[in-house]
């Protein structure tokens, strides 16, 4: 039975930093990944709303932590993307701190949806965040995004590469192909969110 109706999701609030978030109860699942990896598009695809999480052709657009309410006790969190080349070093460090402090200090975070462009997975900063999440016992759903950009055989090659690299963590990380454009992996994403919600509510 589908316990959550993602179509009912609405924008709740944006904050520059976790310490400005006043709601401290309920369950949160955060979407994290490089700038342009497809976080906002995934939230839009999941909720069947074209512009809920604003997405832009200009990467690096999302600078705030954006909260979306699916149910009174369940929120999706769109974290700022990291690693956008055009951003100054001081801004990069600032964004990294925003993301790290959210991951370390959110009392509501119960799962991480980790988005990586299937063509460029497991970059250094991705690996740092995976480490941080594992050390903080936050389970991860890894989505290899924009899979529509590769042939099926190249998708398999990339999937296997990531699978091998993360083989020691596969009890904590699930990996799926994903495309917001072609609606690949959305059922798996919903299933995982529903599981986390059921487990922690």
Ligand X SMILES: Nc1nc2c(ncn2[C@@H]2O[C@H](COP(=O)(O)OP(=O)(O)OP(=O)(O)O)[C@@H](O)[C@H]2O)c(=O)[nH]1
Binding residues vs ligand X (CB under 6 A): 33, 35-41, 55-57, 59-62, 81, 145-146, 148-149, 179-181
Instruction: Annotate 68-86 with b (16+ C-beta within 10 A) or e (fewer).
Output: bbbbeebbbbbbbbbbbee
Q: What does the alpha-carbon distance between residue 68 and residue 13 come to, in Å, rounded to a whole number?
A: 7
- Report the length, in residues, of the chain: 201
Nearer to ligand X, 32 or 193 (CB): 32
Nearer to ligand X, 104 or 119 (CB): 119
* Closest separation in Å from C-beta 61 to Mg ion: 6
* Closest separation in Å from C-beta 192 to ligand X: 18
Nearer to ligand X, 182 or 200 (CB): 182
Nearer to ligand X, 9 or 41 (CB): 41
Q: Name which of residues 37 to 66 contact Mg ion (CB under 5 A).
A: 39-40, 62
* Closest separation in Å from C-beta 169 to ligand X: 22
Please tell me the count of residues contacting Mg ion according to CB under 5 A.
3
DSSP H/E element including 198: helix 186-200
110: partner contacted, choices ligand X, Mg ion, none (Cβ within 5-8 A by kind): none
**Using an 8 Å Cβ cutoff, are 141 and 111 in contact?**
yes
List, edge to edge, every strand of the sheet that includes 10-15. Answer: 10-15, 65-71, 74-78, 27-33, 109-117, 140-145, 173-177
């Amino acid at each position: 039975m589908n316990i959550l109706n993602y179509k009912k999701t609405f924008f709740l609030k944006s904050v520059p930093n976790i310490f400005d978030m006043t709601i401290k109860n309920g369950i949160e699942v955060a979407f994290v990944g490089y700038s342009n990896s497809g976080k906002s598009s995934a939230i839009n695809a999941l909720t069947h709303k074209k512009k809920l999480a604003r997405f832009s052709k200009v990467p690096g657009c999302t600078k705030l932590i954006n909260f979306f309410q699916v149910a009174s006790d369940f929120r999706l969190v769109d974290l700022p993307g990291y690693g956008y080349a055009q951003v100054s070093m001081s801004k990069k460090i600032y964004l990294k701190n925003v993301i790290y402090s959210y991951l370390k200090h959110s009392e509501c975070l119960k799962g991480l949806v980790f988005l990586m462009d299937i063509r460029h997975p497991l970059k250094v900063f991705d690996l740092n965040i995976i480490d941080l999440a594992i050390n903080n016992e936050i389970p991860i759903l890894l989505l290899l995004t924009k899979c529509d950009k590769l042939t099926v055989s190249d998708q398999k090659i990339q999937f296997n590469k990531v699978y091998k690299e993360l083989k020691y963590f596969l009890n904590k990380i699930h990996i799926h192909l994903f495309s917001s454009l072609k609606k690949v992996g959305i059922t798996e994403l919903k299933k995982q969110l529903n599981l986390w919600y059921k487990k922690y509510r």
